[in-house]
Amino acid sequence: MLKNIDRTNKLFERMKKDIPRIVNIALREDLGGNLNLQSDITSLLLSKKQHVKAKIIANDSGIFCGKYWFEEVFLQLNELNKNKEDIIKIDWLVNDTDIISKKQILCYLSGSAPMLLTGERTALNFIQTLCGVATETKGYVDLLKGTDAILLDTRKTLPGLRTALKYAVLCGGGKNHRLDLSDAFLIKENHIIATGSISNAIEYASKLNINKKIEIEVENIKELQEAIEANADRILLDNFSYEDILQAVKLNNQRTKLEVSGNINLSNIRQYALTGIDYISVGAITKNVRAIDLSMRLI
């Protein structure tokens, strides 16, 4: 796999392009397909010259995440407004990765009342979702303290939010698995069937000579032995029982890195980590997203 620092740098480079694009899509979604402030017919009830102040309040505790996406919402709305005196200004009281508590004020906003209310829901949608992922990730990471196991995410992400959710995992203290299909080899069951065997799949991947680490998924101890002998860089133990993981760690004897995935949750992750496994990947942290409750109030 890519080194974590290389993958993180790659993620941040991709975010620079993804944030404006995905925020633009979200705003268009809420404005009927066009970036036109007049499309928010309810905000037409308010005077364009009416200026207000507001605050974002946390109604749940957790880990804060999503500042860049929130700011981009109002940046794009500000660009639609020809009167620069009406632009939305944000005064942050928190940063990404900060622990937040119930009733905590996260930021203050000021500017055009109609524009602020137009962007409210889109901006909140981003931070409440990303706070939720960061908070859930932190819950898993805390349970791994004192072990050598590293929590990884997966590609099981909400469509269009891949980089955002993987960034949220980092804010929660986890690490990123593959960012996309070009990132590294991950040879799964159907790849093995199509190539004929574990050994064949690893051999073909090696011959491509594209300087990518090779990880392969195995489903039992026999397949694990074949993958070790074929010199896989990392082996994913898919849905192994606890007893089989203990056997796998012993058989491997630190010859390659081992990852476990499947049926991992908050109640059993520490038990798996104590087996001596290197990585634990959990799809639920970016798939079963529970948003943090946040709200905006005019003051």
**What is the pLDDT, as a whole number, of residue 64?**
98
- pLDDT given for residue 1 in this prediction: 43
* Residue 297: pLDDT over 70: yes
Determine which one of 16, 188, 255, 297 is catalytic. 188
Q: Which carries the bigger pLDDT value, residue 85 or residue 186?
A: 186
Q: Which of 233, 238, 244, 293 is catalytic?
A: 238
Q: Determine whether 120 is an active site residue.
A: no
Q: Which of 35-39, 84-88, 143-147 has the lowest mean pLDDT?
A: 84-88
Instruction: Determine the Cα–Cα distance for residues 129 and 161; give it in Å rounded to an integer.
Output: 10
Q: Could you tell me the two tokens for 29?
A: 């979604």
Q: Is 121 one of the catalytic residues?
A: yes
Q: What is the DSSP string of 242-265?
A: HHHHHHHHHHHTTSSEEEEESS--
Q: Which of 226, 227, 262 is nearest to 245 (CA)?
A: 262
Please compute the mean of the pLDDT values over residues 2-28 and round it to a whole number.
91
Q: Based on C-alpha coordinates, what's the Rg of the chain? A: 23
Question: Which value, to the nearest 10 degrees, does the dihedral of the CA atoms of residues 216, 218, 221, 222 take?
Answer: -80
Question: Exactly one of 17, 21, 121, 297 is catalytic; which is it?
Answer: 121
Q: Look over the chain and give the mean of its residue pLDDT values, rounded to a whole number.
A: 94
259 is catalytic: no
Q: Band of the pLDDT at 3, cuts 50, 70, 90?
A: low
Task: Provide mean pLDDT across the span 201-220.
Answer: 93
Q: For residue range 149-173, what is the model confidence (pLDDT) as tens digits?
A: 999 999 999 999 999 999 999 999 9
> Does residue 278 register a pLDDT over 50?
yes
From 155, 156, 213, 270, the catalytic residue: 156
Measure the N-to-C terminal CA separation of the chain; round to a whole number of Å. 50
User: Who contacts 58 (Cβ-Cβ below 8 Å, separation ≥6)?
Assistant: 100, 101, 102, 103, 104, 105, 106, 292, 293, 294
